[in-house]
Amino acid sequence: MTRSYEALYIVHPELQDEEVTTITEKYKEVVEGQGGEVDSVNRWEKRRLAYQVKGQREGIYILMTFKGEQSPVVELDRVFKISEDVMRHLIVRTDDE
């Protein structure tokens, strides 16, 4: 069953635009490689964090919306957890049942 999801993740605030683009493409490919379909990837500006995360007080927020089965969610969560370039992440299901 195909469901809608949002993945919000925070990357290091001092990354250049090209590096952020490379990172967003990497995670987009993870979802698509598991049979998911990415609807949009929105980069927000640098924002102040509520508390320090990995020694940083700011971060660049990226919101990715996608559709798919359970496998893209599981794989994306696994990759986020082992990636050095993601400071924090959250994946939520957005469709209503």
Give the chain's mean pLDDT: 92
C-alpha angle 75-69-82 in degrees, rounded to nearest 5: 10
The answer to whether residue 97 scores a pLDDT higher than 90 is no
Q: Which residues of 24-54 are buried (b: 16+ CB within 10 A; e: fewer)?
A: beebbebbeebebebeebebeeeeebeeeee
Which H or E run includes 68?
A: strand 56-68
Q: Spell out the domain ranges in the chain.
A: 3-93
Res 96 pLDDT > 80? no
Is 3-93 a CATH 3.30.70.60 domain? yes
How confident is the model over 39-73, as pLDDT tens digits?
999 999 899 999 898 888 999 999 999 999 999 99
